[in-house]
Amino acid sequence: GGRRTQAWRGRRGGGGGGGCDVRLFNEHYVVKEGGGVVAFGWHTDANEQLMMCLAPTPRPYVSIWVPLQDTDAANGTLEMLPREARQPPRDADKHHPFFAADAVEGVEVLAVRAGGAVVFASDIWHRSAPNRSAHVRRVFYAQFSRGALLADGTYSSPDPSPQSVPAGGECLCGESLVERAGGG
């Protein structure tokens, strides 16, 4: 069976000068037709997804993968390489020999029920295989950054400090979010 992670919930800060600046900066649907051949090879979102329009970011952002149907290996679910597993070299891309083997050691194939969510940092290696089932597989994908993510790869606000979190609330930003999402 797969590894279970601790669930967590953030609260929005109240008024005043405290709080944090969390921004939705990208969202899209990924649709894989049944019996299809569409696969997404090994990549990190930081290396692959935004490189067409942004310079590399100085810190990870967070991706949230929400299947709209139950997902498993048959319909091309998300597969992740956890940080505890052997990692490719820092400068690797999806064509690196590390990924040439039929099976990369330590991969977790995530069976996720419809409406569940996988939250992970932008520097986590992941992929998805083709949908070999007879049914369509749909996923909603959203990405959040701490502050507005600018075209030069910088952020509009500095790293939030623990003092910026309002009393009685947990802010959905800062190092705690990225750590919980497996980043950093």
User: Tokens in use for 109?
Assistant: 């194939």
pLDDT at residue 14, rounded to an integer? 38
pLDDT, average across residues 2-6: 38
Cα 10 to the center of its chain, rounded Å? 17
Rounded Cα gap, residues 47 and 165, in angstroms: 30
Q: Give yes or no for residue 179 having a pLDDT over 70.
A: no
Q: What is the pLDDT of residues 120-174, one digit of tens each?
A: 998 899 999 999 999 999 999 998 887 777 767 676 765 544 333 333 333 333 3
- The predicted pLDDT at position 52 comes to 55
User: Where is pLDDT greater, at 129 or 49?
Assistant: 129
CA distances from 182 to 13, 132, 159 (A): 23, 29, 18
More confident call, 110 vs 50: 110
Measured between alpha carbons, how far is 93 from 47 in angstroms, rounded to an integer? 8
Answering whether pTM is above 0.75, one says: no
60-119 per-position pLDDT tens digit: 788 999 999 999 999 999 999 998 998 988 888 888 888 876 678 889 999 999 999 999
Provide the pLDDT for residue 103: 72
Tell me the pLDDT of the chain averaged across its residues: 74
Distance CA 144, CA 141 (A): 10
Mean of the pLDDT values across residues 45-65? Answer: 73
Count of residues for the chain? 184
pLDDT of residue 34: 94
| % the chain with pLDDT above 70 | 65
